[in-house]
Amino acid sequence: MYIPPAFREDRIEALHELIRLHPLGLLTTAGASGLAATPLPFLVDAGESTSGTLRAHMARANPHWRDLQGGADCLVVFMGPQGYVTPSWYPTKRETQKVVPTWNYVTVQAWGRPRLVEDAAWLRRQIDDLTRAMESARPEPWAVSDAPEDYLAAQMKAIVGIEIPIARIEGKWKLSQNRPAADRAGVLAGLNDPQDPDKNEAMAQLMAERGDSH
């Protein structure tokens, strides 16, 4: 991934936090059947390797999992907030007209060699942990144990576990850091403007928290 220095994010805790907040990752492989990509919700375990370990599961009916059997490296891409940036938000536009549109976004890319897991205890831990992570904010969280055990056993036979120790991980926080301070302020104001068609509160919050510090 091309990352200009102003947009680079190297802090492992920030990279893991984005994965936790936006867990749907695009698992991409180049196997015997060619290029393949499957969106999957991932968990990240910080303590299982230097850069962490990704865990997910896939439907056994999905042929993509067979491409993971060879042990070749894979790429998982996570996308955070993103949105269009109009030149109309830049004070520079009024001064020089030398501006063009762009797109701001936050992304994490992780590489590693996947391992398939069919152990029932591992799979049960996976679905328990993923469900807990997704349900914890609800007033009455649903738990895997709420479903009948025989039904769960049948469901787990229909999935394959995937574990990816992260060998390399990169983050790109493209938040207008390469623009003058006045232009960054203009972008932030535009993103927060309730009348603007490109209003984007999530991106505005990221810019307010991180834009001037990276």
Question: Cα–Cα distance between 199 and 197 in angstroms, integer?
Answer: 6
**213, pLDDT greater than 50:** no
Going by C-alpha positions, the residue among 160, 207, 150, 163 that lies closest to residue 181 is: 207
Lowest mean pLDDT: which of 34-43, 159-168, 190-199?
A: 190-199
Mean pLDDT of 124-152: 94
Q: Which two tokens stand for residue 195?
A: 């009348």
Place of tokens 């060699």: 113
Residue 45 has pLDDT above 60, yes or no: yes
Binned at pLDDT 50, 70 and 90, residue 200 comes out as very high
Closest by alpha carbon to 63, among 41, 42, 32?
32
Residue with tokens 């865990």: 55
Residue 15 has pLDDT above 90, yes or no: yes
pLDDT of residue 211: 52
Global pTM exceeds 0.75: yes
Mean pLDDT for 47-53 is: 86
CB atoms within 10 A of CB 18: 20
Fold of domain 5-211: Pnp Oxidase; Chain A (2.30.110)
**Average pLDDT, stretch 193-202?**
92
Residue 196 has pLDDT above 60, yes or no: yes
User: What type of residue sits at position 55?
Assistant: R
Parallel, antiparallel or unpaired: strands 115-117 and 43-45: unpaired
Tokens of 57: 């599961």
